[in-house]
Structure 1
Amino acid sequence: MSNEHTQEVLNQTVADLSKASALVHQIHWYLRGPGFLYLHPKMDELKDQLDEHLDEFAERLITIGGSPVSTLAEFDKNSKIEMTPAVWGKSNSERVKELIVAYKYLTQLFKDGIKIAGDDGDDVTVDLYTTALGDIEKTLWMIEAEVG
């Protein structure tokens, strides 16, 4: 049984988690206004969570014979997460809404990853996606609750 499709979705995940991490970092730097004192450290926490999952997915891809994308240009070219140069003047709520879009996309990607890896008979990768999906869904619930 070929694992080509699993390798493809894992590489998509590597690109998207890399870009999502950059988005969180951008938000962390550009936060201003009400909510700053708790949102600023929360962004560090979210970035750490994304980076942990990123490492797990990249290492899994290598383990099953793949080669993860690894440059900023590859992340940007392959990721489906939208990101624009930061500007001052956006509200914290607007910035958090950017996160919601990215996290909703990641939940769908991880669900796709579960199906694709399952179809390839790769239970270990299914487990990685299942764990990551639980974390991302919980985070999405929390950031949506913040926006109201």
Structure 2
Amino acid sequence: MSREKTKAVLNQSVADLSKAAALVHQVHWYLRGPGFMKLHPKMDELMAGLNGYLDDLSERLITIGGSPVSTLKEFDELSKIEMTPATWGKSTEERLTEVVKAYKYLSELFQDGIDATDEEHDAVTNDIFTSAKGAIEKTVWMLESELGLAPGL
């Protein structure tokens, strides 16, 4: 089986996870104000999680005969996550809201991965997407709670 839909969503995930990690890193560097002492190390934790999913999904793509995008240019061209140059003028709330938006997008993307792997009968890749989606959704809940919002995926 060629698994073209699965390969496509895996490569989309590689680009989007790379860009999401860059966004979280930007937030990590540009945080200021109340909550800094707990949020700064939390961003390290989030980056580690994103990089773990990135490695798992990239290696799975290679395993099934695909070729992951691997340059900053490719990540930026393929990714649907928006990012702008950082400024010091954003509040912590604005920064966390950007991260939440990226994570909600990843949740939707991973659902696309679940759907594609169901259709193409790839239980192993399905398991990776399912696990990653659950972790991403938990992070959305936690970040939205930090922002004083009720859960709402």
1:112 to 2:94 alignment: no
For 1:2 and 1:22, the matched residues in 2 are separated by 31
Residue in structure 1 matched with residue 129 of structure 2 by the alignment: 129
Counterpart CA distance in 2 for 1:68 and 1:128 is: 16
User: Deviations along 1:8-42, whole A, 9 cap, x unmatched?
Assistant: 00000000000000000000000000110000000
> What is the distance in 2 between the residues matched to 1:64 and 1:70?
17
Instruction: Report what 2:75 is aligned to.
Output: 75
Unaligned runs of 5+ in 2: 149-153
2:128 and 2:54 map into 1 onto residues whose CA distance is 11
Asked if residue 45 in structure 1 is aligned to residue 63 in structure 2, the reply is no
Report how far residue 63 of structure 1 moved. 0.1
Aligned mates of 1:107, 1:145 — CA distance in 2: 17
1:8 aligns with 2:8: yes
> For 1:85, what is the secondary structure of its paired residue?
coil
Structure 2 CA distance for aligned equivalents of residues 63 and 106 of structure 1 = 22
- Cα distance in structure 2, aligned partners of 1:94 and 1:34: 13
Q: CA RMSD in A?
A: 0.5
Letter in 2 for 1:24: V
- Structure 1 unpaired stretches of 5+: none
Residue 103 of structure 1, CA deviation: 0.6
Alpha-carbon deviation of 1:2? 2.5
Report the CA distance between 1:89 and its aligned residue. Answer: 1.4
* AA partner of residue 75 (structure 1): F
Query: Matched residues in 2 for 1:99 and 1:145: separation?
Result: 13
Q: After superposition, what is the alpha-carbon deviation per residue over 1:43-63, rounded to whole angstroms, capped at 9, x for unaligned?
A: 000000000000000000000
- With normalisation by structure 1, the TM-score equals 0.99
Q: Which amino acid aligns with 1:32?
A: R
Deviation at 1:143, TM superposition (A): 0.1
Q: What is the SS of the residue equivalent to 2:33?
A: coil
Could you list the runs of 4 or more consecutive aligned residues of structure 1 that deviate by over 4 angstroms after TM superposition?
none
1:98 corresponds to 2:98: yes
